Amino acid sequence: MRALAREICTTLAAQPGGVGRALTNPALAEHIDRRAAELPAAVRTAMRAPATTAGATIVSRLPLSDDELGPTPHSWREAVRWSELDIVMLLLARCAGEPFGWQGQQDGRLVNNILPTPGHEDEQSGASSKTLLCPHSEDAFHPQRANLLMLGCLRNPDLVGTTVSSVRRVELTAAEHRLLETPTLPILPDVSYGSGHERHTAPPLPTIWSEIPGSAADFTLRYDPAYTPLDDAGPEFRQAYARLTAELERVCVTAALHPGELLLVDNDVAVHGRVPFTARYDGTDRWLKRVNIRLPERRRRAAEADENGYGQRIVAPFAVRTDAVAGSGWDRNDRGSVEHS
């Protein structure tokens, strides 16, 4: 992985614009496609979406040393310096599906930096630290949200825990399920997307649903209580939502990632969050890389096609390349879920 990334870096550095624009260079997608197809089948299998009821798995372990990272930046803007590790993350994400970014988040970067930022300690975003980051589906407000989320740990000296809860492990009554599958409330964009979403109207959404009515083994969810106007719902719905929240807390597991470990979260099945911690801002704080991944073979509810996503647009350089990648020695069936331990 590191050797392939280094070769891509060297090639891009020799092109007009050099390394400064590498992650926005249209040629990058071509390099990632070609070189990712050279990776061993075992790597592609390891990166497939987890099919277990846990909805998540840890892949271990990418070799890296703390010395090569430099100090943990104070914000994602300070961390946008192009690096070999960003290429590694894209190669790995491409094994799973189609990496993409958001035009309105971190300047459309395909690889995001998650780290504590001064002044954001108490907000519900990846830049916070002092407060509990509530369990949530990544970008739950948007119909083009990731199917699979990849979090790669660069630094975590305090073993700050990432929480994961699977909706397929919760226990709900039939009445609670009926209430939660009824479209009732919208979900708003989080603060990392800035303002302006107020000019868009969005439909109410179901919180959980299942292709097999009443079957927890097939539950899917869109859940983000911090950005859901729960006060606008009736008492029965709020009670059912509170029950779901309690169940997600009951089945919660915590992943204290070590450097080089990757956490894969099925964003249709599991919610994730983070426990509170005290940031030092001395260059040694927790630092993760995040990549959103679309699984083109997976389908979502047809009604989602009519949502406007509050005007947020994705950056998807790999979206039209799936067949080309499959034709370069990849079997499309390799891109499905796998029973990770």
- Dihedral Cα 189, 179, 241, 216, nearest 10 deg: -100
340 domain-assigned: no
161 domain-assigned: yes
Domain that holds residue 327: 2-296+311-332
**Confidence (pLDDT) at 120:** 78
Q: How far apart are CA 241 and CA 145, in angstroms?
A: 21
What one-character DSSP code corresponds to residue 50? Answer: B
Residuewise pLDDT in 10s, the chain (341 residues): 889 999 998 888 777 655 555 565 678 888 999 999 999 999 999 999 998 899 999 999 899 999 999 999 999 888 866 688 999 999 999 999 999 999 888 888 899 999 999 987 888 888 889 899 999 999 999 999 999 999 999 999 999 999 999 999 999 999 999 999 999 999 999 887 766 665 677 889 999 998 766 566 789 999 999 999 999 999 999 999 999 999 999 999 999 999 999 999 999 999 999 999 999 999 999 999 999 999 998 989 999 999 989 989 999 999 754 443 333 333 443 444 555 54
213 domain-assigned: yes
50 domain-assigned: yes
**Confidence (pLDDT) at 21:** 53
**Both tokens of residue 168?**
């397929």
CA angle 224, 275, 185 (to 5 degrees): 10
Closest CA to 277 of 158, 165, 164: 158
The model's pTM is 0.90
**Confidence (pLDDT) at 213:** 64
Contact between 41 and 333 under an 8 Å Cβ cutoff? The reply is no
One-character DSSP codes across 101-165:
EETTSGGG-SSEEE---TT-TTSSSTT--SS-EEEE-TTTT-TT--SEEEEEEEE-TT-PPEEEE
Per-residue buried b or exposed e for 46-72, using 16+ beta carbons within 10 Å of the residue's own CB? bbbbbebebbbbbbeebebeeeeeeeb
301 domain-assigned: no
303 domain-assigned: no
DSSP lists the bridge partners of residue 58 as 263
Q: How many helices (H) and strands (E) does the chain have?
A: 7, 13
Helix axes 2-13, 84-96, angle to 10 degrees: 120
234 domain-assigned: yes
What one-character DSSP code corresponds to residue 301? Answer: -
**CATH code of the domain containing 273:** 3.60.130.10
Number of domains into which the chain is organized: 1
Closest CA to 271 of 231, 233, 219, 232: 219
